[in-house]
Homo-oligomer: A and B are copies of this chain.
């Protein structure tokens, strides 16, 4: 008899415990809070939850339950971006090598996306996207995008990277600047390469 509902209830109770009290519940707290009949029941479900990777516990340690979902995510902060050069895309070892610069973001800013990284913009080549020198652009590393989304594209002929809203039109692609006062440019489909979606833009002032 699979019983996922009771484990969801336990997870919910653990979350509630962190919210209300600031720390994890004990096994016996869970017994009371979820109307279980015995510590063994709780123990059993906690072991299952740990096997499923939903929680982590340190053996023998009181109140050591940790939920695996995070409120703060650290994303790699890649180097400068310059006019006439492709936007840096993280390589496979960029995701693993830790001693790089990172940026802390609240999880609700990026939803539950993965492959997120950030770029620090140098120079004013992105002014038409309302992005200033020093701004930080949060990107999702994807190679496809839906119409209307703000994407980073590499223009092969022009050897230039740019941030625009993308619209597919018959025989051509329209790239629309975020600043609506500026006119769109049109390119041939084979001339562009989508390097990522823009998830957010961040400007820090008054430091």
Instruction: Show the binding face of A for B, using Cβ within 8 Å.
Output: 21-24, 26, 56, 58, 61-64, 66, 71-72, 104-106, 108-109, 111, 124, 127, 130-132, 135, 140, 149-150, 178-181, 197-207
Contacts and interface: CB of A to CB of B under 8 A. Distances in A.
Contacts of A108: 104
B198 A22 contact: no
Contact of A106 (B105, B124, B130): B105
7 contacts: A22-B64, A24-B63, A105-B106, A106-B106, A109-B204, A130-B132, A202-B202
A124 B106 CA distance: 27
Nearest to A133: B180
Contacts of A204: 109, 199-200
A188 to B, nearest CB: 25
Contact of A111 (B56, B62, B109, B207): B207
B205 A150 contact: yes
Given A72-B106, A104-B108, A179 B127 contact: yes
A150 B58 CA distance: 48
Contact of A66 (B22, B105, B124, B200): B22
Contact of A205 (B62, B71, B124, B200): B200
The 3 closest A-B pairs by CB, nearest first: A201-B203, A62-B62, A104-B106
A127 B181 contact: yes
A132 B178 contact: yes
